[in-house]
Structure 1
Amino acid sequence: MSEYSQMLHKILRSTWNNLNISEQWMKADVYIPKEQYSTEIDQFRPISLLNLEGKIIFFVMESCLTKCLIENGYVNVSVQRGVLQVPLGYPEEAKMIWMLPAGPC
């Protein structure tokens, strides 16, 4: 495992064990100017950017919540597909998730 992977694993494990999510991981709005000299808010367009660590931990939390909702009959999967998991885009992310300790889900 690379040095980056080890550091990422340590951060995610600590977050999971302490149930303490960084406030920075929850902020995503960035405003991009539409014109060169934008000064008014309507001259900007918002985009959402989240860091990798936040994406991984929120994916794990979403997976646990989805599993709980489906197993307890709160979601009818024959008509509701919006809560079903989408595979991760990067193998490194999936590897980090499987290395986290087992949680309540």
Structure 2
Amino acid sequence: MEGERKIYLEECEKLATPEEPKEQFDESERKFKEVQDVLKKAKAASAPGPNGIQYRVHKNCPKLTRRLWKLLTVVWRRKKMIDAWYKAEGCFISKEENSRKVEQFRTISLLNIEGKIFLAVLAKRTTRFLLSNKYRDISVQKGGMPEVSGCIEHTSVLTQILREAKEKKSDFAVL
């Protein structure tokens, strides 16, 4: 199927064609403030990626943050991410005490923070573009949207269903 990648699919009637955007995607170079905003939200002590650099370094070293911003600007201009930003270290975290089997662990992937900062700015711009052009219906699709409490709402619904099942002494199943 490798040769068929460039073959376009026919129009699908069920897929809506979006209107032309009223606001264009912000393709301008990264602003220093955007990098600072990402750093403010990041946890200083979060685990570092393969290069060992934590957010704490950039939070406490403004000159280094400015150098990072310049690097991100060059990467943005070249339109090619640095290869090391694609690589992650897998880390196993035990789910319970005295874990001995693989099933008793969960894995997390640790990425270099420079790439995470680059992608966080891109994600914020993408979110702004989607919302400003009403390409995303937040009444249906809430996950990952700023200032939209999707998970809390689902938790509330499940809590209510569980409470009612207890009161009525009825069965409760979660799939």
Same fold by TM-score greater than 0.5: yes
Query: Which amino acid in the other structure matches residue 76 of structure 2?
Result: W
Tell me whether 1:22 sits opposite 2:74 in the alignment.
no
Amino acid at match of 1:8: L
Q: Which structure exhibits the higher relative contact order, with contacts defined as CA atoms closer than 8 Å and separated by 6 or more residues? A: 1
Question: Structure 1: where are the runs of 5+ without partners?
Answer: 35-41, 87-105
Q: Which runs of 5+ in 2 are unaligned?
A: 1-60, 95-101, 148-175
Q: TM-score, normalised by structure 2?
A: 0.38
Compute the RMSD of aligned alpha carbons: 2.9
Aligned to 1:67, which of 91, 105, 128? 128
* 2:144 match: secondary structure: coil
TM-score between both structures, scaled by the size of structure 1: 0.57
Which aligned pairs between 1:1-105 and structure 2 lie closer than 5 A?
Answer: 2-32=62-92, 46-85=107-146
- Write the deviation string for residues 20-71 of structure 1: whole angstroms up to 9, x where unpaired: 211211222424498xxxxxxx588632111221111101111122122222
How many residue pairs are counted as aligned between the two chains?
81
Name the residue aligned to 2:172.
none
Quick one: percent identity of the two aligned structures? 34
Q: Pick the structure with greater CA Rg.
A: 2
Change (3 A) 1:45 1:82: closer
